[in-house]
Structure 1
Amino acid sequence: MTVLAAGLALLGSLFFALGAALQQFEASSTSHAVLRHLVRRPRWLLGGLAIAAGTALHVVALKYGPLTVVQPMGVASLLFALPCAAALRRRRPRPGELAAAAVISIGLIGLVLVVPDQGGDPHLGTGEAVALLAGAAAASLALWAAARQASPAARACLLAMGAGVLYGATATLTRVLVDGGGEFWFLLAVPMPALIALALLQRAYAVGHFGVAFAALQVSDPLTAVVFGALLLGEPLPTGVAAVLTALAAAALTAAGTVSLARTTPMSPSHDVTAR
């Protein structure tokens, strides 16, 4: 069952990477990288279906295998995404890009492995849920504001981080709802941060630095969920000298790989896409 779970998660990562590459290709090919224009593009919609399929496979994998096996397989989406995006541009991925992606993946796997197993059923009150949404909105707004004055690579990173923060908040609310520990209005609140995150992510993709944008998303989404889980749901964080040192080393590798990706040539000619 563990082998099956790992295979499903790996296949899900491939679908997720392909979907992200398709959406980035479409977002960077237009000067109007907004959802109302992108939803009219069949290839962008196909990318959305691929991402949905990848997410579904990941969920199924979690039913058959432990989180410590499934989550690291999901990190492979970064390694898959760069070749997929390069193929759409009819070029080969550069060795430096793949090396940076491998470093980020190793860092993300290290971070995943030091997070303790979650125990108990999560519960979130109305006040805590409002704090979660307000905190995610404030952080995302600050990142969006910073992106307006940033260089193209930094802009892609900051916008994707803003999307990741909102996705992390969405994941936290969803987990509470699935386990029956939330209020009914949570169900109505979930789509809003997810849609804003999707719009921010397309802005990040449109800049052209796909590698750094996708890496920033892969880092900020799970880390936000872990932080909210610890602060609001009482979930454990890594403890002990070995776990803390491993987490710090993994974070350093992830940061170094992301900086390296930011220095690579953009996947496409950069439009003057601002964070408006």
Structure 2
Amino acid sequence: MTSDLQIPDAVSNLTPFQALMIPVALIGAVFLSLGAQFQSRGVKRVEARLGKQSKGLSVRHIVGLVSSGYWVLGTLMLGIAVVLQLISITFAPLIVVQPLGAVALVITTWFSSRSSGVPLGRRARRAVWTCIIGVGIFVGIAAFVGHESPITRSQLITVLVILAVVLILVLVSFRVVARHKSALYYIIGAGVLYGFVATLAKVTLNRFVNHTFDWLTVLAIIGVVVAASLGGYFVQNAYSAGSADLVIAGLTVVDPIVAVGIGVIVLGEADGAPPIAVFGFVVAAAIAVTGVFLLAKHHPEAQR
């Protein structure tokens, strides 16, 4: 007698080498947390010296960041985090390793509480756990209904077209929303952009590994560079308007949801999933995003 339940390759067929990518991703999350803390301090110090801008960081502020030791150290740490993330998503399924960055949220919130001298209150802890539980449920469902399959040219083109639309929407909305200096706007924008970065980076690296380099790969590389650059600018503005723990909360929630969402909807990694799984995706995403909004209200620096 055979069972109709099929466990996806992403979970059941991890090789020892693929399993090794899990601690690699976790170490990357630690560097992500530390890098966020140091970059945030660098941005705050530059603004204290040059003054705050009402519509995002100016060119003068961006240049000033390069001379900030805290910001440079944070950038180096984030660079290490990115390298470790790229290694992990190259050799292991995206839905397994990408969401592990949520570990950075716990570390960053603790550091933020220590550096601000404000104890982490019950509401802030509840917000952190809400984020983590939402992401965990989302990825857990994706892991059990998802599967990896070769990415076709049409699927890659679809991802690139969606990214182009997102870039247009982000640039248009920036002119309207930036004047309000909204941390959540910058965080959600950066998370969406980084979700595309993770997806396209995996596609690009796999094409290099499989020797299938073509003009679409070039477009994917350009998409990675543009989305990463704009996302990086949004992150620096988020540090200016909010706290490091809030930034990491947004990125570790929105980034994996977007990346996994692209895999499920566009790349067909959850074809055949029952309606209850789709409903679960929506509910889990809502829980995670709710946690971000709660943390925006109750994070340690907001209590000062």
In 1, Cα distance between equivalents of 2:83 and 2:252: 17
Change (3 A) 1:39 1:238: farther
CA RMSD in angstroms, aligned pairs only: 3.2
Structure 1 outlier segments of 4+, above 6 Å: none
2:227 corresponds to 1:217: no
User: Which gives a bigger RCO, structure 1 or 2 (Cα 8 Å, sep 6+)?
Assistant: 2
In 1, Cα distance between equivalents of 2:241 and 2:298: 13
2:152 corresponds to 1:136: no
Larger Rg: 2
Instruction: Normalising by structure 1, report the TM-score.
Output: 0.80
In 1, Cα distance between equivalents of 2:156 and 2:83: 29
Structure with the bigger percentage of helix:
2
Alignment equivalent of 2:38, drawn from 22, 35, 40: 22
Alignment equivalent of 2:231, drawn from 185, 197, 210: 197
Q: Which runs of 5+ in 2 are unaligned?
A: 1-15
Tell me if structure 2 keeps the 8 A contact 1:160–1:204: yes
Tell me if structure 2 keeps the 8 A contact 1:132–1:169: no
Kindly state the Cα deviation for residue 110 of structure 1 after the two structures are TM-superposed.
Answer: 1.1
Greater shift in the superposed pair: 181-190 or 163-172 = 181-190
Equivalent residues in 2 for 1:1-276, closer than 5 Å: 1=16, 4-29=20-45, 30=47, 31=51, 33=57, 34-62=61-89, 69-115=96-142, 116-123=146-153, 128=158, 131-145=161-175, 147-148=177-178, 150=180, 155-180=182-207, 182-230=216-264, 232-236=266-270, 239-264=273-298, 267=301
| Identical residues among aligned pairs (%) | 26
Greater shift in the superposed pair: 66-75 or 170-179 = 66-75
Greater shift in the superposed pair: 38-47 or 50-59 = 50-59
The size of the alignment, in residue pairs, is 267
Q: Which runs of 5+ in 1 are unaligned?
A: 271-276
In 2, Cα distance between equivalents of 1:144 and 1:238: 38
Tell me if structure 2 keeps the 8 A contact 1:140–1:166: no
Kindly state the Cα deviation for residue 105 of structure 1 after the two structures are TM-superposed.
Answer: 0.7
In 2, Cα distance between equivalents of 1:103 and 1:238: 29
Greater shift in the superposed pair: 71-80 or 11-20 = 71-80
Tell me if structure 2 keeps the 8 A contact 1:5–1:65: yes
